[in-house]
Structure 1
Amino acid sequence: MLGVLLTNSYFFIGLGLLVALTISGWYLAYRYHRRYHQFKHQFAGVQHQYAVQQEELRSALEAQLSQQDQLRERNRELENYDTFKTKVFSIISHDLRSPINSVLGIMDLLEQGHLSLEESQHYARKAKVRVQVTLEMITNLLHWARNRMQSIAPKPSSFDVTQLTDQLVDIYGPIASEKGVTVENLVKAPQCGFGDMEMITVVIRNLLSNAIKYTPTGGTVTLELMTQTECVKLSVKDTGLGIDASTKQSLFETQMSSKPGTSQEKGTGLGLMLSKEFIERNGGSIAVESQVGEGSIFCITFPKESPQSMLSPTVSV
């Protein structure tokens, strides 16, 4: 009887211990699970805070980089403006004064009345050439200055390329003749182009003027037009001095100085740089082929339109 009681006592004690261990296990598992979720929640909060801080740092870094870019751009603008002022003052003080003084000297001779009619006509033609060259220099200077101060947006329209070249040859033919240079205009067939006519006029005028400037007496300047599928290709060829390889590399840069022509003609040094900017803004291109002593060929391309859709605006040069 006593043995049975002891056995039952051990059974209930074991059962109680088992229940206690089970409850303790469940409780510990609950505590662990709760703490795990608390830690997970806290970790998620830390991760979120870290992500927010990282985004704030990224934004601050981007803002700082943007400010640095703005400062660099501002510095470039200031440097360009200083270069702009220096170039303008140099042109005004040197390049423009010389031809103006030359014209004044011719006017003094004419005013004195000691010249024959033939001599007067000769000097009048010289004065006209000097005025035309000076006007071209001033025009280039004004275009360049305006282009530096504000970006000029092209105003494209259809125009008659043949009519434009005819008018430019009419203007520069007498200048070339005075120098003993022949201008051949092979642009005969009707051809239309599409672009800002004023800009393209500046480009062709500069190329024609330069060709005459660097061609010696007895030489020839030739304008020729080649029609391609989607563009017009105009070339200005001369039998002048030619250009060496090192000069060609920087020919279209702003800092390029103008060399005196074969008759010591001066220029602003802005024509080719301005021509490149203007032709590219009209969806075209400019290229040069040249060798020293063999002359040069400058080619420009710009969009064209079919003759049926061509308009007929008045050409202004």
Structure 2
Amino acid sequence: MTLKGWTNKTLTIAWLLLAALLGGSFYLLSYALSDSRDAAPQSVIHQVRLAVNPLMLYLEQHHEHIGTLEVQTELNRLATQREIGLAYVELDGSVSFSSNALPPLPQDNINRFLRYDMYSGLHNNGLFQIAFPVIDEGSLRQVGNAVYFLPEAQVFPAQSDYRPIVAFAAIMLVTLCLILLLIVMKRTIHTHFISPILELRLHVEAILKGNYEQQPSYASLNEMGALYSMFDQMRTEIMYLSMQRIQQEKAQKELITNISHEIKTPITTIKAYIDSILEGVCSDTETMLEYVEIMRTHTDKMARLVEDLLLQTLQDLGQITVEPREQYSREVLHKILKPIGHYVRTNELTYIGPQEIPNVLIYIDAIRIEQVISNLVSNALKHTPPSGSIRIDVQLEAGMLKVIIADTGSGIRPQDMPFVFERYFRGNPGSAPQRGTGLGLSICKTIIEAHGGTISFTSKHGEGTTFYFTLPLC
């Protein structure tokens, strides 16, 4: 069960128990404030009528002879048999008969004391008084009043009123259940809410201190479990970003070191050839031109290093500018590939150019695409031994212009393939000598994607690598 479902269910039970507790309390309060004998129930009146009915019938038949001994004896017998006191009162208020069990009655117009309801007929001696009119059977006129005196036990039979006891027991049971429920809620809240939050706080403090290895765990699959899972995912991402930042800082330091070394070598070489020229070592024009060509080669190398460093900085800032415009592919690619073919041949490799460049209209930034091709070719030159070859081809494929750059070099190791387009990646230690800054392929990917194209590769270690990139047609 989820924590939300458990909470709703527990609160519902608590409210029901509280409502039952309040209901029982109000019942006891109302019972204490009320008197169950305030008014005689109708059933009690009927019972009284049934008890006095033989006496009433006898009086209606013999009221004319009420003064005779025979009638009074029979009335006494009937009253004693039913444990009822009886007094017969004439219409003028005089008492013609009273049963033996009754105390003497006042003789001055007793009609003033007659009660026709049981509520007001309670005497101090515990007897209830009620009067019934006596009707003559022949004339159907009232001839007198029969006053009956009944003991309280006969009017209200002794009954065991267990309702307050049951209500009190129910209140105690509900109170006990409510207390137990509160104890369970306290333990559950501490176990499933407070303790996990305190533990999560410790993990947060550990992360703030740079310790990302502590893995939080929560056994239940509820909302708190989901929170722990999300927190652990966040911890993993923070740990990954921290490791990535550390690696990036390390790679940047290595980049600065490598570029410093890469630039220092051509500068030293150029300076040496300039000094030689100034000292008059070059005795003829041919040697002079050879020296100049060497210096230009090293100058181009420094320019590429500086350009890569600039593009890397712009890439970090998200500011690599690509300004494409509509151009025909044959003309623009021919201008790009012509000097590259010469550059490959000067490095003692075989260059195989495209047999035919499709002449289609493409949306291209020629300067940036030249950087992409130059980077890919330079990368191929680094890993292709002398006597190898570099092939460039251009094809139309599925509405895209596809450029292929293949070499017969050492290829890429399988474990390195997932990382070749990441910045600063220069191959794992122990592989072939690592050269370059590790920025070229990352920059190529950024430029191609800015054109709306894709870049990929296939490679087999020891047999060569082929890079493909596509450019959308207009």
Give the TM-score, by structure 1 length. Answer: 0.67
Q: CA deviation at 1:31?
A: 4.8
Say if 2:375 and 2:444, in contact at 8 Å, map to a contact too: yes
Q: CA deviation at 1:17?
A: 1.6
**Larger Rg belongs to:** 2
Instruction: Tell me if 1:110 matches 2:277.
Output: yes
Q: CA deviation at 1:230?
A: 4.7
Residue 469 of structure 2, aligned match among 293, 300, 303: 300
More helix per residue: 1
Give the TM-score, by structure 2 length. Answer: 0.48
Q: CA deviation at 1:228?
A: 2.2
Instruction: Tell me if 1:122 matches 2:290.
Output: yes
Name the CA shift for 1:124/1:145 in 2 (closer, same or farther; >3 Å): same
Name the CA shift for 1:291/1:64 in 2 (closer, same or farther; >3 Å): closer
Say if 2:361 and 2:473, in contact at 8 Å, map to a contact too: yes
Please list the CA deviations of residues 259-304 of structure 1 after superposition, one character each: whole Å capped at 9, or x if unmatched.
679xxxx633432344345545655132133453x543222234x0
Name the residue aligned to 2:250: 82
Residue 437 of structure 2, aligned match among 268, 275, 280: 268
Name the residue aligned to 1:98: 265
Instruction: Tell me if 1:139 matches 2:281.
Output: no
Name the residue aligned to 1:210: 379
Instruction: Tell me if 1:4 matches 2:82.
Output: yes
**Partner Cα distance (2:158, 2:460) in 1:** 110
Name the CA shift for 1:297/1:23 in 2 (closer, same or farther; >3 Å): closer
Q: CA deviation at 1:95?
A: 1.6
Instruction: Tell me if 1:64 matches 2:204.
Output: yes
Aligned residues: 290
Name the CA shift for 1:277/1:172 in 2 (closer, same or farther; >3 Å): same
**Partner Cα distance (1:135, 1:214) in 2:** 21
Instruction: Tell me if 1:287 matches 2:365.
Output: no
Say if 1:176 and 1:212, in contact at 8 Å, map to a contact too: yes
Q: CA deviation at 1:80?
A: 1.8
**Partner Cα distance (1:200, 1:5) in 2:** 127
Matches within 5 A, 1:22-61: 22=163, 27-28=167-168, 31=171, 39=178, 50=189, 54=193, 61=200
Please list the CA deviations of residues 118-152 of structure 1 after superposition, one character each: whole Å capped at 9, or x if unmatched.
222223222222222221122223323443x4345
Name the residue aligned to 1:309: none
Structure 2 residues without counterparts, runs of 5 or longer? 1-78, 85-149, 213-234
Name the CA shift for 1:101/1:187 in 2 (closer, same or farther; >3 Å): farther
Say if 2:270 and 2:295, in contact at 8 Å, map to a contact too: yes
Structure 1 residues without counterparts, runs of 5 or longer? 307-317
**Partner Cα distance (1:277, 1:55) in 2:** 49
Q: CA deviation at 1:179?
A: 3.0
Sequence identity percentage = 16
